[in-house]
Each structure stands twice: as structure tokens, then as C-alpha cells.
Structure 1
Amino acid sequence: MKVLVTGVGGQLGYDVMRELHRQGIDCCGADRAEFDITDFAATNEFITNYMPDAVIHCSAYTAVDKAEDETELCRRVNADGTENIAKVCKAINAKMIYISTDYVFPGTGEQFYKPDDVTAPSNVYGQTKLEGELAVKKLLRKYFIVRISWVFGVNGNNFVKTMLKLGETRKELNVVADQVGSPTYTADLAVLLVDIVKTERYGVYHATNEGVCSWADFAEKIFSVADMDVKVNHITSAEYPTKAVRPKNSRMSKDKLVKNGFARLPKWEDAVERYVDLLKNVY
């Protein structure tokens, strides 16, 4: 089996490549230096030359607030770029995993969103990721759409690294407590994605670490694990306004994973402990 991974310069793409190597699977990693996904000719040439059996598409425009001003650029990457990859996958009969987001949902209520629940993004980033999903569904039969949230990994910036950095100089921090969801550790997710791509159990899945928390809960766990004495003040979204509207409810049901024979990811608290321990050794 040959697998092409896009976005290898990012958190998830990096860990997916590591997992593929660990399992001895023939793989190729690509980032913008290799080809621009918004350019169909370049995308077609690169993928067709490699002729993978599957593409794990991790590349994305993820600057959520900036996307409100850079709408067209965000759409070119997340929607058009994804469509370009899906077109080539169709032409060469390759499977495709498209990484999507909790932001495709309205983010209201307290229910756990199921994969087939009604989508209604509340910001540009979520809308363009949904457009990417629709392109994949329209063009392909052999696809997996995997929605994730609150991502952290060793290769790149994320909430955990930000908290640890701020904690070095601050004894008190205000963190939003009325947005609830599940952190996703890319090292854990990578194992699942490789397990998924080896099957033909196509469809839409949700994949995050187990359990839910608020951003404030998340921060408190990070400081606890890092043994840092930082007080976390729980504030509301209204007290920390952002350009893009953030969902208050990012709970997603992972029942479909189990139903289709895939293992749930470890608890988010366990993931944070392993991740912070890893950072201590890396940096």
C-alpha cells in the first residue's frame, strides 16, 4: 500500500508520516514546497506521478480569525484545494481521508453531535471546511471524512504550547470556560487514521480524545501536569471577544468509530500528560 500525506509541515501531517513509517507502510509526505493544492495541474502531476493507493489530506488553512478577512484564500485552500485532490483521487481510483472539523456544526446546545447531524458553520473557516467535505462526498465513493477538534501535537503551535509559554511569566491567566469540547492529540489520532485508511469502511467519522472539558479546564490540566503554579480565571466568551465566532458546544459523538470496529482514542487527560512529558524531553 502506498499513502500520500499532505500538510506534513503541520502538526497532524507530521505525526501521520511518523506512524506510517512506524508501521512500515510505503508513504510520501508533501507540503507546499512539493505542490500547491490550489493549483490543479500541479496537484494532478504530483499525485499521478506517485500513484498512491490512498491520500490522507491534512493540509488546510487553519487561521480561524484571519480567515474572516482572508475569505477567498481560505476557500481556495480548504474547499478548492480539497476538491482538486478529490478529483485526482477519483481519476486514479485512490482512497481519500479528508480531515475536517467540529466547526462545521452550529456549536449550540449540549448534545454530542453525530456524524450525520445537520451542519451550520458559524464562521468562514468552518464554512470552507464544510465545502471541502461536500466536494469529497460529491466526487468520491472511497472516502473517509474525519472531524477533529482542539488539536495539539509536537510539530507546530497549539494551545498547550501557548499556555506553557505564558505560564513562564504569568501567575494568573483568564481562559474561556463556556466553550466545551475535546482535545485531540495528533500522535493518538495518527494511529487511528492509519488504521482507518487500511480499511474500506468509508464514511464520516468523529475522532477526538475521550472526555470533554472547557478551555479553562484544559489549561488547568496543562499547568497541573507541568507543575506550574498558575491560577486560571474562568471567563465567558463575551469577555474574550474574537473576530470569528467560536462554537460553545464542540461535543462530538464517537459511537460510529466503535460501531465500525475502530478503537476510541485515550482520555484527553492522559494525552496531555504524555504530551507535556514529551515536550520536556524535546525542548
Structure 2
Amino acid sequence: MKILVTGARGQLGQDIVRACTKRGFPVTAADSRTLDITDFALVRKYLQNHPWDILINCAAYNAVDQAEKDWRNAYQINGLGVRNLACAVNECSGVLVHYSSDYVFNGEMKRPYTIFDPPSPLNRYGESKLLGEQFVRDLSYRFFLIRVSWVFGKDNTNFAQKVVEWSRASKELKIVDDQVASPTYTADLAMATLDLIGSEQYGLYHITNSGYCSRYEWASAILDILGWDGTIIRASSEEFPLPAKRPRCSVLDNFGTREALGYDLPGWKDATARYLMEKFLS
């Protein structure tokens, strides 16, 4: 199968391209410089002029706090841009793979969220991702809609990288312990995505690394692996007021992915250790 990756310069996009290359799939990598997904005419022309069977959309507006003021741009990219892709993919009789977020949920559930739970986003970013979901489900003929959480990878800034940077600048860190989800390594997510495509079992999925933790627990694991000798202090979200409200517990239930693929992704601690080894310790 021939694959077209949009948003190919981001941390997930780069790992998708690497995974395709590793498996021998012909892949075309498009980024915002070569394909503006908010321009429908350009999207349609690009898809008609390049060979592909599967379009994996990694293009996204991910500035959660900035989206509170810049919400029109967030809606344009995460919502209307996805609509453009869905319509153009349909015209070419292709398959669309699109990623959404745990931030479509409000975090008030007392158990992991399943694909059957109704979304209720707390912030503009979550609203924009939900809009994209709705366009995919309403307009796409064949699609994989994949919700993820706390994504981290080697090729961009993320929470794990920030913890490493903070630890180099200070011997005392305060990290919130009242936000809980599942860290998800882009290298593992990319491989699972290709396996899911191969299953041809279209629909909505949750894909994260196994297990869950608080931001504090994740940071503690990172610092233990690094051998950091400073002090890490538990803090509450109220001590770090941000423009966008975050869900307190947005753990995703991966049962649909487990049924389709026959396996669970590695645990988040294992994924974190591999990330640190590949990016900082090798």
C-alpha cells in the first residue's frame, strides 16, 4: 500500500514516515510548507497528483493554551482542515487515518474512557479536536479515527523533553499530581497505526501505551532513569494556573485496539525508558 503522511515534520509524522520506510511501504511526506490542509482546492489538487492509497493525517494545531485566544486558527486546522481531507480522500476513494485527543473528554469519569462515552471538552483545543472527529465520522467512507493521549517523541517538544530540560536547570522541580492519563510514545503509536490499517477494521479507536500515571509519576520515572539527584515536589494544578483547563483523569480504554490487533502496546514506563535512551542516553 502507498501512504501519504500530512504533518510529516511533527513528532508523530516523522515516526510514521520511519515506520512506513522500515516496513517497505512507499510513502510521500507532506508538511505545512507543501500542503496547507485548510486550502481545499490545494488539498484536492495535491491528492490527485500524488500516488497514495492511505492518507495518515498528522497535521494539527497543538498549542492547547494558545487556542483559548487563537481558537479560530485551531478550529480552522483541527476542524475545517480535517473536513477538507475527508472530502478529498472520498473523491479519490482512499482511506483516511486521523488522530484526535483525550482532551475531547472532561476528565470527570471514574474509570477509563471507552469509545462509547460521550465527549465533553473543557477547552477550545478539545472543542477543535472534537469538530475534526465529527467531520471524519460524518463525511468519510473508510476511516480510522484514533484518540491518543500525552504524546511524546524524539522529534519535537513535549512534556518528557521539558522535564529533562527543567532537571538540567534546577535541583528542585514542582510537578502536578492531579492530572492522570497514559503517556504515548510516537514510535509505538506509529507501528500500531500501520497494524491497524492492515486489519481493515475501520472505525474509532483509542491507542495509548499501557497503564497510566500522573504528571508527577511520569516526571519521577523520567528523573529516576536519568539518575537525577534533585528533589521533585508534588503540586496541584491550581498552583500553575493556565489559560486552558485540563481534564483531571483522561485515561483511555484501549479494548477496541486490543481486539483488532491482538496485543497491547508496551507499558508507559518501558516506552519512556526507550525514548530517553534513544534521545538522551545513547
TM-score interval, normalised by the smaller of the two chains: over 0.9
Match of 1:210 in 2: 210
CA contact (8 A) 2:153 2:186 kept: yes
CA contact (8 A) 2:64 2:244 kept: yes
Match of 1:5 in 2: 5
Any residues of structure 2 matched to 1:1-283 within 5 Å, and which? 1-280=1-280
CA contact (8 A) 1:51 1:92 kept: no
TM-score normalized by structure 1? 0.97
TM-score normalized by structure 2? 0.98
Of 257-266 and 38-47, more deviation after overlay is shown by 257-266
State the one-letter code of the partner of 1:108: E
State the one-letter code of the partner of 1:87: C
> Which whole-Å CA distance do the structure 1 matches of 2:47 and 2:165 have between them?
39
CA contact (8 A) 2:199 2:261 kept: no
State the one-letter code of the partner of 1:38: T
Alpha-carbon distance, 1:263 to partner: 2.4
> Structure 1, residues 187-236: CA drift from partner, whole Å, max 9, x if none?
01100011112232011111111011000000000000111113211111
> Structure 1, residues 245-282: CA drift from partner, whole Å, max 9, x if none?
00001111011112223422100000111111111256
Q: State the secondary structure of the residue aligned to 2:250.
A: coil
Q: Give the length in aligned residue pairs.
A: 282
> Which whole-Å CA distance do the structure 2 matches of 1:248 and 1:212 have between them?
12
Alpha-carbon distance, 1:242 to partner: 0.8
Cα gap change, 1:150 to 1:138, in 2 (>3 Å): same
> Which whole-Å CA distance do the structure 2 matches of 1:52 and 1:199 have between them?
18
CA contact (8 A) 1:110 1:251 kept: no
> Which whole-Å CA distance do the structure 1 matches of 2:179 and 2:159 have between them?
14
Alpha-carbon distance, 1:80 to partner: 0.4
CA contact (8 A) 2:181 2:212 kept: yes
> Which whole-Å CA distance do the structure 2 matches of 1:52 and 1:42 have between them?
16
CA contact (8 A) 2:38 2:77 kept: yes
Of 209-218 and 226-235, more deviation after overlay is shown by 226-235
State the one-letter code of the partner of 2:171: K
CA contact (8 A) 2:113 2:252 kept: yes
> Which whole-Å CA distance do the structure 2 matches of 1:213 and 1:55 have between them?
32
Alpha-carbon distance, 1:140 to partner: 1.3
> Which whole-Å CA distance do the structure 1 matches of 2:30 and 2:281 have between them?
27
Q: State the secondary structure of the residue aligned to 1:121.
A: coil
Structure 1 gap ranges (5+): none
> Which whole-Å CA distance do the structure 2 matches of 1:88 and 1:158 have between them?
31
> Which whole-Å CA distance do the structure 1 matches of 2:165 and 2:74 have between them?
28
CA contact (8 A) 2:6 2:35 kept: no
Cα gap change, 1:142 to 1:262, in 2 (>3 Å): farther
State the one-letter code of the partner of 1:81: G
Q: CA RMSD in A?
A: 1.0
Q: State the secondary structure of the residue aligned to 1:75.
A: helix
Structure 2 gap ranges (5+): none
Q: State the secondary structure of the residue aligned to 1:13.
A: helix
State the one-letter code of the partner of 1:179: Q
